[in-house]
Amino acid sequence: MILAVLFANAEGNILIERFHGVPAEERLHWRSFLVKLGADNLKGVKNEELLVACHKSVYIVYTILGDVSIYVVGKDAYDELALSEVIFTITSAVKDVCGKPPTERRFLDKYGRICLCLDEIVWKGYLENTEKDRIKRLIRLKPPTEF
Amino acid sequence: MADSSGTTLMDLITADPTPATSSSSSSTSAPPPSATSSTSLSSTLGKPATEKKSKRATLMQIQNDTISAAKAAVRTNIMPQKQKKKPVSYSQLARSIHELAATSDQRSSQRQLVQHVFPKLAVYNSVDPSLAPSLLMLNQQCEDKSVLRYVYYYLARILSDTGSQGLSSGGGIPTPNWDALADIDAVGGVTRADVVPRIIEQLSAEATNADVEFHARRLQSLKALTYAPSTNSDILSRLYEIVFGILEKVGDPSQKKKKGILGGKGGDKESIIRSNLQYASLSALRRLPLDPGNPAFLHYAVLGISSADPVAVRNALEIVSEIAARDPYAVAMALGKQVQPGGALQDVLHLHDVLARVSLARLCCTISRAKALDERPDIRSQFNSVLYQLLLDPSERVCFEAILCVLGKYDSAERTEERASGWYRLTREILKLPDASSKESSKDKSQKIKRPQPLIKLVMRRLESSFRSFSRPVLHAAARVVQEMGKSRAAAFALGIQDVDEGAHVNTFADASDLNDSDESTHPESIRRTSSVSNGTAGRDTIAGMLASLMEVVRTTVACECVYVRAMVIKALIWMQGPFDSFDELESIIASELSDPAWSAGLLNDVLLTLHARFKASPDMAVTLLEIARIFATKVPGKVDADVLQLLWKTCLVGAGPDGKHKALEAVTIVLDLPPPQPGSMLGLTSVDRVSASDPKSALALQRLVQAAVWFLGENANYAASEYAWESATPPGTALMMLDADKMVAAASSRNPTLAGALTRLQRCAFSGSWEALTTMAIRSGEPFRLQIYEFLHTLAQGGLQSQLSDVHLSNGEDQGASGTGLGVLLSPMIKVLDEMYSAQDDLIKEVRNHDNAKKEWTDDELKKLYETHERLLDLVSLFCYVPRTKYLPLGPISAKLIDIYRTRHNISASTGLSDPAVATGISDLIYESSKTPAAAEPDALDDDLVNAWAANLGDDGLWGNNAPAMNRVNEFLAGAGTDAPEVDEENIISRPSVSYDDMWAKTLLETTELEEDDAKSLGSSSPDSTGSVETSISSHFGGMSYPSLFSSRPNSYGADKASRGSGPSIYEGISSPIREEPPPYSSPGMYRNESFENPLAGTGSRSFESQDDERISSGNPQFGSALYDFTAGGDDELSLTAGEEVEIEYEVDGWFYVKKKRPGRDGKMAGLVPVLYVNQP
């Protein structure tokens, strides 16, 4: 289960968050935990270099892309490696939408489309589409395989 | 006004510089002509104009403009085409949607929707149900694909919204509880209950629309439908019907698409449509609750494995493997030939989808281990063969999953047998690829591995190469796999699998099987078990040799920068540590790691819990583990959880066996000799200054740890030393004669060095409140220990006598000036109980002598008096600690006979049960006695029974499992639970990377008042030298009788203890305290709302929560407003409003205002939460 996907800017403000199966009262804790994690560790990290953390049996993989840091939290089948797949899909979709590692401005300009991409990538706590082109087709309301 | 929710993210987004404003936004904060007062305020800041600053200025301008513009323009202008200022409030967005939906046929409306309205609406985490009609209208009438895609997105969000206070699974800006608002909503009073059926109706119609033109929309509507609440059985059955309906049409194997065109290129249109539909319906099915009773699931999922769409294959495999966990037999039968060479499962091996292969591994593992298939070894071995092939998978994720499956870890239930056979499999079995492997695979890779390979060799090689990776997730995962390997290995050793001979040369199996290759190639079973050939050669190719070289690589991984990876490596090392290996290396690794401040408390405690788990797996390791735990206690006393550490001590103490007990107790007492604060300064009140100077937080934690150790010693020293008053043979008189202190000490340590050592340690830390522990020991121990303690307490209370006594208690070399400590009051009850015991003993001895001299029998009255004294003393003693009433003789061993005579005469049963004052007063839970009464009544078996009871408890946790907090943590850990949100250390909240504008603002404004107060508060909370915390720590000595003990557990008072700490001057316990649960305000409170664009959505503001509260209250000028509409409170914390009512706005939280009314409303409430949108601010 992918418990959370979270995007934050350099100041630690959350831009997008998607929780699944996380009780409302725990979300605040997750938010601050993740943002703190990023603030502590993401300085000087290269774009898309993956960092890892865990809390109990929950795994966290996070990275930075342009001005935006991306956090993915999962458990069970979504261990650190599966989350790496998820985050890789997300970063490539974001890069695709924004054209390059986004500035915060650019990210916000493309906000709606990024949300749609995320909708195609993570569906009810499971990873769904991973291919860039397929995602691109789906957010334009085209079938996954063109005929 | 409705846009008052002050949402930063929305501000950021609406700051979107349109061409007209973008030029100014990037350079300076120069306000555009329409700038309002707030813009100029920000420019007076005088800070260098960063991009952020200018953004703020632009934002402010836009926001302010929007308010006026929205009033003027949006309402009148149906198509706000060239409008520069975009709507920022939710209600404006909603209105735009309504308006634009009506004109959705126009290009400009479509563009407006796609470019402005929908993206901004995405910022909110839930969508108002009243938007549904417009969305549905768009869905029917609009033809623009981008608009439609958004429409599906939002329809899905309406369906998924559970309506719980605006917090849906979606996240984003919290929005009000729409349903609660709907009753009085000006928009038209639409609730989810109204619209959900309509949405489902329409989406279902689309999902079943077979028109080819409609194909893509069909897929999206199917997807949106899965968000419908699955608790509603009507909706659910409808969804099943739709999904299975589609699958029935497309899943027909006769029309199945051929393989090899996964990308779909060159495929004919019909089959592509079919595979798309199959994909969408299988994906939907995966999200719906699994209905194991419905054979259609399995049927269509198995068909789906052959789908041309890789994602469909993955979903199908996930469904199948989930079903297999419940009914492996049915799944194996349904899969039939798929698993054989050339079958669909073999194709999955080469499918470019990692998660599909992971599911395949799980599926194969489940079936190959299924007991239901014991009759069909052929099937099992086929699946096993696929599983072993996955060990060669290029993806680490898949390979590691396969390793874990081989090791016997595939679900959360940990069964030792399964684990042990997992280790056996790994070390003994051999991978031999099936000869008839599919053509695609017979490329270079299969050439290399054609030769049968021992699994262990493959796995080791793979792990070693993974440890050379630069990717932290890979390192972390590899370390985790090694940890699991250690668990399986420990299980194998625990079960004493005779065949585990790690000196065996693994190639012997491989070579042996190689020779037989030709003979067996026709055999369908490609994996064979071979008996171990132990030739004892140590070297690279023995299991031991390979393990050694792997562990070498693992150890080097502690150089990784990431502390989480290192933690995992240490856990792996702990698990791979054998009970008889030397652990010097591990010890030094841990010791050097712990000096790294990067380790968080949570992570360290995780390692402590690992020690626990390791102990459970191999009780032999108790002493080793205690030594490791000791490193934690000495190196990072401030970070370890004293409760968990204590539990570890205790379990190890019990598990250590008679020989290890002394060592176990030593490990505990070592805590009392902790190096950081020097002896003499560490434990007394005087020491606190010095420790706190370096790190107040850890000083406090250290004190807690010391108290834990003190309590633990008091409770368990007698057990560890096997010294009990009621088993003591020494008559009290003997001890009384040894009043010379030195002799007494000598006698004590020769008699029982363990107890004497503990006693010395406890005496040394008298100022940590060890007197309670000492009293417990005095009561439970025989002589000379009791007398020794008695004298010590006496000295402590009265002072002035120490010169006459041994200087044991003054070993720190300082004159403690006992008379000046003021401890007399605290100590007197404890001294009194000992006094009473001694004087009663004296009396008894006199009486006995008198009777002996006079050759008189004891009269009944005399016996009665004696018995009453006995009972009274028992009651008194029970107030201090648990003693077995049936055996405890406060009057000494000589009273036993007389009391027995009286009891028999008067037919008094020995066990008094509920009349025990300890029960009555609730000091002790007496778990031990209540559940083990038979054992307690059996005089000679007590010690063993204790051990047995505890050993048993360790196994089934029955006695402890449910009420001790630390035990819960251990159990949770062992069970692999872990969804609880992590706690963020207090300092986190302060650690924001940059000092933001509103921080500065807040500082300048509040510096003189609240901040000081806050500082004082936080000082009080964390530095023990403030009077407040001294009080708390003293009080916790008394409240702190909650530590686990072998005699009695008082886990329930643990909470009370905590609470009492929390109720001190601090909220030090941090984020777990209820105050922290409160979500942070999403916009700034009160008066500086306009300035605070920085205000984080995350709410991880730079300020602590308390100070925020203070700011709210202290921000002085209260804001007033009036209710725009009626509002009915939907919860206890909400407040009902009548339109027009005047309110005072205290602060804002998550789109809600906390307001106060002038007079109580109908419900009698004066203050509470109301939606922001319902209040008009002047």
Give the pLDDT confidence of B599-634 residue by residue, as tens digits: 888 888 888 888 888 888 887 777 788 778 878 877
Q: Which A residues in the span 52-91 are in contact with B, Cβ-Cβ below 8 Å?
A: 52-58, 61, 75, 77, 79-85
Is 50 exceeded by the pLDDT of residue B906? Answer: yes
Q: What is the pLDDT of residue B745?
A: 66
Residue among A25, A39, A141 minimizing CB distance to B991: A39
- Using pLDDT thresholds of 50, 70 and 90, give the confidence band for residue A115: very high
Percent of chain B at pLDDT > 70 equals: 55
The CATH code belonging to domain A2-138 is 3.30.450.60
B981 to chain A, any CB pair closer than 8 A? The answer is: yes
- Reduce the DSSP state of residue B171 to 3 states and report it: coil
- Measure in Å the smallest separation between the Cα of A96 and chain B Cα atoms: 17
Are the CB atoms for B13 and B121 separated by under 8 Å? no
- Asked if B311 is an interface residue toward chain A (Cβ–Cβ < 8 A), one would say yes
Residue contact B1096–A22, C-beta within 8 A: no
Selected residue with higher pLDDT from A59 and B541 = A59
CA B92 to chain centre: 41
**Cα torsion B1111, B1113, B1117, B1122: sign:** positive
Chosen for mutation from B159, B257, B274, B355 (greatest number of chain A CBs closer than 10 Å) is: B355
Residue linked to tokens 């037999």: B329
The answer, yes or no, to whether residue B536 has pLDDT greater than 60, is no
Chain B hits for A127, CB-CB cut-off 8 Å, are 355
Chain A: closest CA distance from residue B24 (Å): 14
Which of B283, B972, B1100 has its CB closest to that of A35? Answer: B1100
pLDDT category of residue B571 using cuts at 50, 70 and 90: very high
Token digits of residue B675: 């190096």
A-facing residues of B in 605-644 (CB < 8 A) are 606
Residue of B75 and B221 predicted with greater confidence: B221
Alpha helices by DSSP H, B530-641? 543-556, 563-576, 584-594, 601-617, 622-635
Task: Give one DSSP letter per residue of B656-725, joined into a string.
Answer: THHHHHHHHHHHHHGGGG-SSSPTTTSSSTTHHHHHHHH-HHHHHHHHHHHHHHHHHHHHHHHHHHT--G
Residues whose CB falls within 8 Å of the CB of residue A5, separated by 6 or more in sequence, listed in order: A16, A17, A18, A70, A71, A72, A73, A86, A90, A118, A122
B1014 touches A at CB < 8 Å? no
Q: Which residue has the tokens 């929205």?
A: B70
- Cα B474 to Cα B476: distance, rounded to the nearest angstrom: 5
Mean pLDDT over A6-14 rounds to 89
pLDDT for the residue B1143: 86
Please report the pLDDT score of residue B260 as a whole number: 42
The DSSP H or E segment spanning B964 is none
d(CA B701, CA B636): 10
- Extended beta strands in B1002-1118, E state: none
Burial of B813 (0-12, 13-18, 19+ CB in 10 A): exposed
pLDDT attached to residue B422: 87
Report, as an integer, the average pLDDT of A87-105. Answer: 92
Looking at residues B894-920, what average pLDDT do you find? 63
How far, in Å, are B397, B453, B550 from residue B456 at the CA level? 18, 8, 11
Task: Note whether B155 and B126 are within 8 A (CB).
Answer: no
Cis before B176? omega within 30: no
Please indicate whether, in this complex, the C-beta atoms of A146 and B982 are within 8 angstroms of each other: no
A132 Cβ under 8 Å from any chain B Cβ: no
0.80 surpassed by pTM: no
Gap between the Cα atoms of B116 and B136, Å rounded = 19
pLDDT digits (tens, 9 = 90+) for B169-201: 444 455 555 555 555 444 456 777 788 888 998
**Between the CA of residue B889 and those of B725, B867, B913, what are the distances in Å?**
8, 11, 17
Residue B780: pLDDT band with limits 50, 70, 90 = confident
- Look up residue B59 and give its two tokens: 């934002």
Q: Which of A16, A15, A65, A21 is nearest to A45 (CA)?
A: A65
Q: How confident is the model at residue B747 (pLDDT cuts 50, 70, 90)?
A: low
Q: Is B157 exposed, middle or buried (0-12, 13-18, 19+ CB in 10 A)?
A: buried
Chain A residues lying within 8 Å of B362, measured CB to CB: 77
Q: Do A111 and B119 touch (CB under 8 A)?
A: yes
State which amino acid sits at residue B321. S
Highest mean pLDDT: which range of B364-368, B801-805, B1167-1171: B364-368
Mean pLDDT check: name the lowest of B266-270, B272-276, B927-931, B1141-1145: B927-931
Q: What is the pLDDT of residues B63-122, one digit of tens each?
A: 444 444 444 433 333 333 444 444 457 778 888 888 888 887 788 888 888 888 888 888
Confidence check: pLDDT of B351 > 80: yes
B354 reaches A (C-beta below 8 A): yes
**C-alpha B47 chain-centroid distance:** 43
B283 touches chain A (CB under 8 A): yes
Residues of B with Cβ-Cβ distance to A139 under 8 angstroms: 149
Q: Which span out of B86-100, B439-453, B572-586 was modeled with the highest average pLDDT?
A: B572-586
Mean pLDDT on B951-960: 36
Q: How confident is the model at residue A8 (pLDDT cuts 50, 70, 90)?
A: very high
Rounded to the nearest angstrom, the minimum Cα separation between A4 and chain B is: 9
For residue B176, the model assigns a pLDDT of 55
Q: pLDDT: is B280 or B718 the higher one? A: B280
Yes or no: say if A109 and B120 are a contact pair by the CB < 8 Å rule: no
Interface test with chain B among A7, A40, A86, A119, by most B beta carbons within 10 Å: A119
Would the pLDDT of B5 be above 90?
A: no
Residue written as token pair 């846009």? B3
Interval B1117-1136: pLDDT, tens:
667 888 887 887 777 778 88
Q: Is the pLDDT of residue B929 over 50?
A: no
Higher confidence at residue B977 or residue B279?
Answer: B279
Report for B50-64, B409-423, B681-695, B975-989: range of highest mean pLDDT: B409-423
**A65 — pLDDT class (breaks 50, 70, 90):** very high
Q: What is the pLDDT of residue B126?
A: 72
Nearest alpha-carbon partner for A63 in B177, B472, B1160? B472
B993 close to A (CB below 8 A): yes
Comparing CB atoms, the residue among A11, A53, A128 nearest residue B996 is A11
B119–A126 C-beta distance less than 8 A: no
Bridge partner residues of A53 (DSSP)? A60
Q: What is the mean pLDDT of chain A?
A: 91
pLDDT, one tens digit per residue, over B281-339 is 999 999 888 887 888 888 898 888 888 888 999 999 999 999 998 888 888 888 887 77
* Beta-ladder partners of A7: A16, A70
Range with the largest mean pLDDT of B88-102, B637-651, B697-711, B899-913: B88-102
pLDDT tens for each residue of B621-673: 777 887 788 788 777 777 777 777 777 777 777 766 666 677 777 777 766 66
B439 pLDDT exceeds 50? no
Find the mean pLDDT for residues B512-530: 37
Residue B17 reports pLDDT greater than 50: no
CA gap B697, B776 in Å, rounded: 30
Residue A71, pLDDT > 80, answer yes
CB–CB of B309 and A145 under 8 A?
A: yes
Q: What confidence score (pLDDT) does residue B88 get?
A: 59
Q: Tell me if B355 and A77 make a contact (CB, 8 A cut-off).
A: yes
* Distance in angstroms (rounded) separating the CA atoms of residues B301 and B318: 9
Q: What is the pLDDT of residue B597?
A: 81
User: What's the confidence (pLDDT) of residue B968?
Assistant: 67
Higher-pLDDT residue of B708 and B976 is B708
pLDDT cut 90: percent of chain B above it: 7
Question: Taking CB atoms and an 8 Å cut-off, how many pairs form between chains A and B?
Answer: 244
Which pLDDT band, with edges at 50, 70 and 90, does B835 fall under?
confident
- Per-residue pLDDT band for B434 (boundaries 50, 70, 90) equals low
**Partners of B171 in the beta sheet?**
none
Q: Which of A111-125, B24-38, B800-814 has the lowest mean pLDDT?
A: B24-38
Question: What is the C-alpha separation between B430 and B509, in angstroms, rounded?
Answer: 8
Q: At what angle do helices B145-160 and A111-121 cross, to 10 degrees?
A: 60
Interface test with A, best of B980, B1071, B1092 (most A CBs within 10 A): B980
CA dihedral B527, B529, B532, B538 (to 10 degrees): 20
The token pair that represents B998 in the structure block? 């509103």
Residues of A (16-35) whose Cβ lies below 8 Å from B: 16-22, 24-33, 35
Contacts of residue B1118, Cβ cutoff 8 Å, sequence gap at least 6: B1086, B1144, B1145, B1146
- Residue B1073 pLDDT > 90: no
